[in-house]
Structure 1
Amino acid sequence: MATNLTPQTIDSLINQALAIEDEHAQEAGALGFMARAMVQATLPHRRVEGNEFERKNGSFTLTLQAPSKIGLPYGSIPRLLLAWVTTEAVKTKSRELELGGSMSSFMAELGLSPTGGANGSITRLKNQTRRLFSATITASYEDGEQVADMGYRLADKSVLWWHSKDPEQAGLWKSTVTLSEHFFHEVIDRPVPIDMRAIRALKQSPMALDIYTWLTYRASYLKQPTVIPWSSLALQFGSNYAQLRQFKAAFLDELKKVVLVYGCVQVEAIERGLIVKPSLTHIGKKSRA
């Protein structure tokens, strides 16, 4: 598979992949989880006009809605937040989660470095955190004979006592998010195991994060090689591309990054789609135990 990645990027991803292979995720304290609904259909990659967004995966449709004054979550940060939230909920079995003693300490858990300014990581984290936890989800299943719709907020409450100008400073009160009861049960009911080191390695690309979590999920149950048409992948991962060939080119570029980190995954791009073959999951049973 040809690649447009820079030598520095390739070296970095390979080094992180080797570190992952050297030590099981649980032994490295890197065992994480992602909610299945967010793996089957994904969040926007870029800013979306309006306050409604839809992704499709076969008969499954995920619709995301947000208050118009706040806006929809998009990009890598909401994905990092979802991985953290799901992992913490699975570990603690609690709906109320503490977001670190300070903004800086929480950013470190997400693999982010604090940077200031209008486009810095501090501003983006505060903005995307509010967007994500204000969002409402509708999950629909329709196969021609039966229809099922289910809607829920991601969080009942989020309280962020973060100091933007001094991210190291601890707040007088804890910053917390209380997951909605429905999302909490969605999160802890058969979550998708992921390696948080892979998430941090791919954090610069929201599509690469989506491809990684989806592939390790598919690998957990796939019994035979399966061809997924490019048109179906476009609906699931990038429906905002004007032409299918543009999506295909972007997808393959991001897939190269994922394959470098998740080396045991078996995939092959052909004219009509992507062949996904039975592969080892990125989190072995030993790590999940």
Structure 2
Amino acid sequence: MAEGLTSIGSVAGDLFASIEKQRSKKTARELTLIDKGLEIAQVRPEGDDVTFMHSILCQIGLPRSKFDGDRFERKNGSAALEVRAGSIWTGTDMVQQPIPYGPIPRLILAYVSTFAVRERTPEIPFGESANDALRILGIDKGGPAYKMFRTQVSALAACSMTIGFTAGDRAYTFHGNPVEQFEAWLPGQEGQRSLWPSSMVLGRRFYETLLDHAVPVDLRAFSSLRGSAMAMDLYLYLVQRLHRISRPVGLTWWMLKDQFGQEYVGEDALADFKKKFKKALAQAQSVYPDAKIEIVRGGIKLFSSRPAVDPKEAKRLRV
């Protein structure tokens, strides 16, 4: 018996040593995602852990990096998204804004969409001070994130979107501003040196379609991916797609590049995209443990998977 116990203890020790060895090869960010994935696997999201995103923005995302120009377009099969830069009144001048890009506007959209869906209102508050706005979005005060938030919330509030899609033998085009009205504190108030958001009102059409087509998302997972806009986009795509398919779906690398990597150009564009995509996919899968995906010759294969959020919980939060 003692020998058996010793043997079991030895095996367990070897197992833990192996796990620690594997963990030692991971970066701090990879370890954070692994730990978050373990938490998500053990505890399903509910209450404040559930956020909502517009279904269109789960299929076609904003630019992932800084975009030069005032018009951006991304396609996905029979659908497309066009984003145009707009202007913001600063109290003294109309100032042209850039196209919103990167992780922060994605987090902002998650916050405003969730508030709109759960409270059934297009008017979204950001708190009584700049610090409140940062806290609500889980963004650390100070440093580059502080400045980036200020830039991106103004860019998002100013932009306009055009969505096009094909259904049957007809082509549809929808024009609208995600944000109809933007209210901000002037510089000097609340100790601020530039405009900070107080509230925004969603555009009527955006708000109405959001209520009808909101996708429930695990906020713990989505927020943990903020280091990679591509990983955030992949996670949203998988969350809205995997639970709706009934049979395996194959996607070639070229199809994936058309949807997620249109910015990759040049002789090695596909190879560069595949490298970045595989890394982002691994990150997205680490925080969506139920996602069933295989990398196969020529692309990937998707399989029907359990929803990231229990449909009953999502329905409860939308009432």
Report the TM-score, using the length of structure 1 for normalisation.
Answer: 0.89
**Match for residue 87 of structure 1 among 114, 131, 139:** 114
Shift, 1:144, TM fit: 8.6
Cα deviation for residue 24 of structure 1 reads 2.8
Counterparts in 2 of 1:286 and 1:164: CA distance versus 1, 3 Å: farther
Alpha carbons of structure 1 residues 94 and 268: separation in structure 2 relative to 1, 3 Å: same
Report the aligned-residue RMSD: 2.4
Query: Which of the residues 47, 53, 74 maps onto 1:55?
Result: 74
Task: Choose the corresponding residue for 2:259, options 236, 253, 263.
Answer: 236
Aligned residues of 1:140 and 1:147 also touching (Cα < 8 A): yes
Assess, with a 3 A threshold, how the Cα gap between structure 1 residues 166 and 122 changes in structure 2: closer, same or farther: farther
Answer whether contact 1:199 1:209 (CA < 8 A) is retained: yes
8 Å Cα contact 2:133/2:197 also seen in 1: no
Q: 2:53 aligns with which of 15, 34, 44?
A: 34
Question: Which residue does 2:211 correspond to in 1?
Answer: 188
Do the aligned residues in 2 keep the contact of 1:24 with 1:287 (CA within 8 Å)?
no
The unaligned stretches of length 5 or more in structure 2 are: 1-24, 88-95
Alignment match of 2:141 (pick from 88, 93, 114): 114
Q: Distance in 2 between matches of 1:30 and 1:164?
A: 35
Letter aligned with residue 232 of structure 1: M
Task: Give the counterpart of 1:140 among 164, 169, 172.
Answer: 164
Alpha-carbon distance between aligned partners in 1 of 2:202 and 2:111, rounded to the nearest angstrom: 13
How many residues end up aligned between the 2 structures? 279
Check 1:257–1:250 CA distance in 2 against 1; reply closer, same or farther (3 A cut).
Answer: same
Where in structure 1 do 4 or more consecutive aligned residues deviate above 6 Å? 162-167
2:39 is matched with 19
Mean CA deviation greater in 140-149 or 221-230: 140-149
CA distance in 1, matches of 2:167, 2:214: 24
Q: In the TM superposition, what whole-angstrom CA distance separates every residue of 1:199-245 from its partner, at most 9, and x where no partner exists?
A: 11111111111011110100231111101122222222120011112
Seen in structure 2, the aligned counterparts of structure 1 residues 7 and 124 have a Cα distance that, compared at 3 Å, is closer
Q: CA distance change for structure 1 residues 62 and 174 in 2, over 3 Å: closer, same or farther?
A: closer
Q: Which runs of 5+ in 1 are unaligned?
A: none
Q: Judging by fraction of residues, say which structure has more helix.
A: 2
SS of the equivalent of 1:34 reads strand
TM value normalised by structure 2: 0.81
Q: 1:61 to 1:228 in 2, by over 3 A?
A: same
- Residue 9 of structure 1 aligns to which amino acid in structure 2? R
1:166, CA displacement in angstroms? 6.5
Distance 2:138 2:177 in 1: 26
Contact 1:219/1:278 (8 A) holds in 2: yes
Tell me if 1:98 matches 2:125. Answer: yes
Amino acid at match of 1:274: I
1:139-169 CA-partner distances (Å, limit 9, x unpaired): 11247942111110111111122779967x8
Kept in 2, the 8 Å contact 1:122–1:164? The answer is no
**2:257 and 2:270 in contact (8 A); partners too:** yes
Whose radius of gyration is greater, 1 or 2?
Answer: 2
Give 1:273's aligned residue.
299
**In structure 2, do the counterparts of structure 1 residues 35 and 228 end up closer, same or farther at CA, with 3 Å as the change threshold?**
same
